[in-house]
Structure 1
Amino acid sequence: MDFARVELSGADADFRDRARAFLDTHVTDEVRRRDRATGDNFDEAVHLAMGAGGWLAGELRPEAGGGFDRVRTRLWELEKRRYRVPWVTWSTTAIVVPAVRRHGSPELREEVLPGVYDGRIRLCLGYTEPDGGSDVATCRTRAVRDGDDWVINGAKMFTTGAHNCRYVFLITNTDPDGPRHRNLTMFLVPLSSPGIEIHGIHTVDGDRTNIVHYTDVRVPDRYRLGEVNGGWAVLQGPLNEEHGVRRTAPDGLQDISIMAHHGAYMATVVDDVAATVARPGPDGRRRLDDDAVACRLGRSVARMEAALSAPGVFGRVAIAQTMRDIAPELMDILGPAAALPTAAAAADDGGGPEYLFRWAPLCGIYGGTLEVFRNIIAQQILGLGRPDYTPPR
């Protein structure tokens, strides 16, 4: 494995500096404060500025079509992460765009993609149902053909970003009596359609997600992606991207695993805690000189480094599980001040461990629970059989 640094050309170094100048101007402390207060993980002004500056198109377009090359894509990703750009709505958009390109009609592509590139149009995911858990194939949201339209009824949970998006990438059941996985059809549904209601839900970490109700929503057939009852094939690409089940690029210019963004925040919190316990207190003593503190901090650092080094879907599990395991340790190391939220804790640890503690359980649920990903590893990588959940006799 080659751990050498990438030597940037003069042009690439200039690109990095322009990215930093742009983000320094637009991603301010006020943007980050407002994002934490709303839980939206999205800032429209920042997003539209990225579109106007060509950053969104550069990130999403193929290199042959005017997009960034691999080095500049990586530079842009790392700088966004360093500045803590509110990102989740752009993430769901980027997951869906390849399916629109591949399965959408020319008219639909022309309607959607230009607005994606300039920031006006964002896309969210309509998968999970209130009683469906992580198995999206148990879809009960119905789409019934009515002439040139479809009429959709049902509900979806955890449609994060729906209140900031123009379209939802929606999985529906178009043949209730059909065989599993061959009775699903995908649509890109305009969220302005009559009959759609979006209700916010705030999670324990303060983020906002949504439950979306569809009541007699009429959608023209041109918003269908792929074949009728062929939705599972349309969904596979976005699902694999979200799950991190993908090939590793030979140039190494990509995240080791799908949860690297979350892991980077965990690493920042660990660094802040280490700096805090290494500073002398009012009595001149450092908490780090306590062997118990040093042991627990060292163990947390070792766990974190191992998780950040795990590739692909392994890293997705390792990072989420490690966040759950070390967040309580970090709070114990710091003592009572660790329970204070960000603003109140600025004098000590900056509130990072408190937020990490609340965020960690959610990171084991995003895109499917840790149990789902462990089954993916068992079946698709280790070649084991499907789990048998029947009760023992």
Structure 2
Amino acid sequence: MDFSRVELSADDAAFHDRVRQFLDTHVTDDVRRRDRETGDNFDEGVHLAMGADGWLSAEMNTGADGGMTRVQRRIWDLEKRRVHVPWVTWGTTIIVAQSVRQFGSPELRAEVLPRVPTGEVRLCLGYTEPDGGSDVATCKTRAVRDGDGWIVNGAKMFTTGAHNCQYVFLITNTDPQARKHKSLTMFLVPLDTPGIEIQGIRTVDGDRTNIVYYGDVRVADKYRLGEVNDGWRVLMEPLSVEHGVVDADADGLQDVSVLVHQGTVMAVSADRVAAAAGRRGPDGRRLLDDGSVGYRLGRSLARVEAALATPNMFGRVAIAQAMRDVSPDLMDILGAAAALPIETDGAADDGGAEYLYRWAPLCGIYGGTLEVFRNMIAQHVLGLGRPNYSPPKAKTS
């Protein structure tokens, strides 16, 4: 395996400089502070600037279509990660825009797609329901035919970014008598439609997500994606992307799995703790002088590296589980001051380990719980069959 530094061509080096100049200009300390305060993981000013300067359009297209080359795309992704661009809403927008392009009517495509690369239109995911868990196919939100349109009633949880988006990619039940995968229809619903109420929910890591209520919401049929009761087919590709089960390209110029962004934050936090453990205190001693500290720190760093190198859906599980296991050790190594959050006087590592500890449980449920992904691996990769959740049979005497 070649670990040598990649030498950029003159064009790619110039591209790198242009990316850095743009991001350093627009993704400021104020942007990052505001994002921590709101928990939105979105900044409209930055997003619209990306649209106006052509970055969103370039990211949506390949080099052959006037977009980024593979190397340029990797540079762009790494630089966004370096400056902590608020990114979640753009991620969902790209996923949904592909479905609109594939399954939307010409009228719907004309309404939505031209305004996505400008940043004016953002799209979010309306999957999970308050009592539905990770199985989105158990959808109870109803869409009922009414003349040339539909009436939608129900509720969706964890619709992150809804308050900053114009449309929601909504899964509905249009045939309660059918099998669950044959009863679903997808819509792209304008979020300014009467009857939609968005309520914010703050998670333990400080992020904002939403619960969205749909009360007698009238949706024109032009907003339907795909055929009636064929929504599962429309949903499969976006779900695969979110779950991280798509195949990686052979050139290696992409993350080996989803959640690498989160894993990189974990790696930075672990590096900061390692640096702190190696510094001498007022008494001349280092935390590393305690053998147990060196053992726990080494174990944590090894877990981080292994997780970041784990591909595909396995990497999603490895990174999320590593965050849950590593973050308590990092806080223990630093001591009581590790409980202080970012920008607090006396915080041991500027709140890095403390934030990682709060973020870890959330990373274990993004796109589905770790248990769901372990079952998917067992069933579809290892061939172990479907899990049996039925209660045990009573013993007979």
Instruction: Determine the structure 2 residue equivalent to 1:207.
Output: 207
What is the deviation of 1:196? 0.1
Alignment partners' CA distance in 1, 2:265 and 2:36: 14
Q: Which amino acid aligns with 1:274?
A: A
Which letter maps to 1:267? A
Report Cα offsets for 1:157-180 as digits up to 9, x if no partner: 000000000000000001010122
| Pairs aligned (count) | 393
Q: 1:214-267 CA deviation, whole Å, 9 max, x = no partner?
A: 001011111111111110000000000000001110111110001100001001
The corresponding residue for 2:349 is 349
Match of 1:74 in 2: 74
Cα offset, 1:4, TM superposition: 4.3
> Take 1:268 and 1:94, find their aligned partners in 2: how far apart are those partners?
27
* Counterpart AA for 1:26: H
Matching residue of 1:94: 94
Counterpart Cα distance in 1 of 2:366 and 2:83: 22
User: What is the 5 A alignment of 1:311-390?
Assistant: 311-344=311-344, 348-390=348-390
Find out whether 1:291 has 2:329 as its counterpart. Answer: no
* Residue 279 of structure 2 corresponds to residue 272 of structure 1: no
Shift of 1:125: 0.3
* Counterpart mapping for 1:204-243 below 5 A: 204-243=204-243
SS at match of 2:181: coil
SS of the aligned residue for 2:33 comes to helix
1: CA distance, partners of 2:4 / 2:276: 31
Deviation at 1:64, TM superposition (A): 3.0
Q: Which residue of 2 aligns with 1:197?
A: 197
Taking the TM superposition and a 5 Å limit, the aligned residue runs for 1:143-222 are: 143-222=143-222
The 2-side partners of 1:171 and 1:164 are apart by 19
Contact 1:129–1:155 (CA<8 Å) still a contact in 2?
yes
Number of the residue aligned with 1:33: 33
Q: Supply the distance in 2 between the matched residues of 1:260 and 1:311 (Cα, whole angstroms).
A: 10
Is 1:141 equivalent to 2:141 in the alignment? yes
Take 2:93 and 2:325, find their aligned partners in 1: how far apart are those partners? 31
User: How much has 1:61 moved relative to structure 2?
Assistant: 2.1
* Structure 2 letter corresponding to 1:147: G
Bigger mean CA offset, 218-227 vs 277-286: 277-286
**1:323 partner SS:** helix
How far, CA to CA, are the matches of 1:223 and 1:5 in structure 2? 48
C-alpha offsets along residues 40-59 of structure 1, whole Å, 9 cap, x if unaligned?
11111111111111111110
Using a 3 Å threshold, how does the CA distance of structure 1 residues 202 and 181 change in structure 2: closer, same or farther?
Answer: same
How large is the Cα RMSD of the aligned pairs? 1.1
1:185-227 CA-partner distances (Å, limit 9, x unpaired):
0000000000000000001111000000000101111111111
Segments of 4+ moved more than 6 angstroms: none
State whether residues 187 and 225 of structure 1, in contact with CA within 8 Å, keep that contact through their aligned partners in structure 2.
yes
Q: Give, in whole Å, the separation in 1 of the partners of 2:115 and 2:34.
A: 25
Alignment of 1:244-259 (within 5 A): 244-259=244-259
Shift in Å, 1:345:
5.0
Which whole-Å CA distance do the structure 2 matches of 1:61 and 1:199 have between them? 34
Q: Which amino acid aligns with 2:149?
A: D
CA distance in 2, matches of 1:4, 1:252: 14
Decide whether the 8 Å contact of 1:338 with 1:345 is kept in 2: no
Aligned residues of 1:139 and 1:171 also touching (Cα < 8 A): yes
Q: Which residue of 2 aligns with 1:45?
A: 45
**What secondary structure does 1:210 align onto?**
strand
Using structure 2 for the length normalisation, give the TM-score.
0.97
Q: Please say if residues 203 and 209 of structure 2, whose CA atoms lie closer than 8 Å, have aligned partners that are also in contact.
A: yes
Which runs of 5 or more residues in structure 2 are unaligned?
none
Relative to 1, partners in 2 of residues 1:97 and 1:346: Cα closer, same or farther, differing over 3 Å? farther
**Distance apart, 1:62 and its partner CA:** 3.4
1:126 match: 126
